[in-house]
Amino acid sequence: MSEIRKVCVYCGSGPGRDPDFVLAARQFGKIMAENEIGLVYGGGSIGLMGEIANAVLDNGGHVTGIIPDFLANREHQMHRGEIIRTRNMHDRKQQMFEHADAFVALPGGVGTLEEVVEQMTWVQLGRHRKPVMLANIKGFWEPLRALLAHMEELNFIRPGLLVDYLVADRIEDMLPMLQEAAARIPEPQTAMASDVAGRM
């Protein structure tokens, strides 16, 4: 894979307490639109989800929101851009995987954590090689990085099964880092994660 056309962004359905998180979502959305990179995300119109989706759309970009039926009201389904409704969370995550060329985790809660760790696991198991990035805004993801290092130190993440992910501390570095990582992948993505998702 040498080109990124769509990025799946995992992020909170709330804004968090630090306004810099909202600013980061807006900035990255604007950068994506300006570079003609489509957004794939959870389909909500609230929190950081709504901020990044609106930023992409307001700057002329393309948005694909993927949301399960039971969350459409709770997360205030976006009514702009392309919306895909799914039956459940498993279908949602599979659709997000299939639509995206890379994955980014902005600050968020347990759902954001679960989604990005799942992608890390699929990379670790060789199910895909799409870039996975932690947007480490104001050090948000440092506790996770410390936990992963702790797992590696105790040999629960063993040599040969290292977790391959990118870390960006600045919004302006994110897209170039993703593009550089994608350019190093020598062949098109063919591995699908459906067999893994079916066992989750």
Q: What is the 3-state secondary structure (H, E, C) of 109-162?
A: CHHHHHHHHHHHHHHHCCCCCCCEEEECHHHCCHHHHHHHHHHHHCCCCCCCCC
Beta-strand runs (E) in the chain = 6-10, 38-41, 63-68, 82-86, 102-105, 132-135, 166-168
Q: Report residue 197's pLDDT band, with 50, 70 and 90 as the boundaries.
A: very low
Residue 194 lies in a domain: no
Structural domain harbouring 171: 6-181
The number of domains in the chain is 1
CATH code: domain of residue 103: 3.40.50.450
pLDDT higher than threshold 70 for residue 195? no
Residue 199 lies in a domain: no
Residue 102 lies in a domain: yes
pLDDT higher than threshold 50 for residue 75? yes
pLDDT 10s digits, 127-143: 999 999 999 999 999 99
Does the predicted model carry a pTM greater than 0.85? yes
Residue 188 lies in a domain: no
Is residue 50 within 8 Å of residue 67, measured between CB atoms?
no
Residue 189 lies in a domain: no
Q: Name residues whose C-beta falls within 8 Å of residue 153's C-beta, 6 or more positions apart in sequence.
A: none
Residue 171 lies in a domain: yes
Q: Which residue has the higher pLDDT, 3 or 6?
A: 6
In angstroms, what CA-CA distances link 167 with 15, 46, 57, 105?
A: 21, 25, 26, 10
pLDDT 10s digits, 164-184: 999 999 999 999 999 999 998
Residue 99 lies in a domain: yes
Is residue 23 within 8 Å of residue 120, measured between CB atoms?
no
CA distance 72 to 85: 8
The DSSP symbol for 177 reads H
Residue 144 lies in a domain: yes
Tokens of 115: 């989604």
pLDDT number for residue 162: 84
Tokens of 33: 């639109």
Q: Report residue 190's pLDDT band, with 50, 70 and 90 as the boundaries.
A: very low
3-class DSSP state for residue 10? strand
